[in-house]
Amino acid sequence: MMMNRIEVLLEDNMPDYMAGLVKISSINVYDSNDEMIDELPNNFPRISDLVGNGEFRSEEHLKDWISEKLNVPNENIEIIE
């Protein structure tokens, strides 16, 4: 199974004191047939483990982190607000 595209939905209910930070609400991973992947292979973290209390200083920082964790190029990661 090859991860082809990642959609990252951002948390939209951020408190005022967290202004400027970015948090992940959910992640959808798609294969080369554009089918959603429910579980990643064992050598990758679980999708649910990527969605948590992490705070990122920018969307680019978040993309870099996802890219590193899932070994996917940044250009294959789409941020959805």
Domain tally, the chain: 1
Query: What pTM does this model have?
Result: 0.87
Indicate the average pLDDT of the chain.
91
12-34 per-position pLDDT tens digit: 888 888 888 999 999 999 999 99
Instruction: Give 60-75 pLDDT, tens digit per residue.
Output: 999 999 999 999 999 9
For residues 3 and 20, what is the distance between their CA atoms, to the nearest angstrom?
Answer: 30
Give the DSSP letter of residue 74: G
In which domain, by residue range, is 8 found? 3-80
Contact between 10 and 27 (Cβ < 8 Å): no
pLDDT the model gives residue 17 = 87
Strands (E), the chain: 3-10, 24-31, 36-37, 77-80
- Whether the predicted pLDDT of 1 surpasses 70: no
Pairing assessment for the beta strands 77-80 and 3-10 based on DSSP bridges: parallel
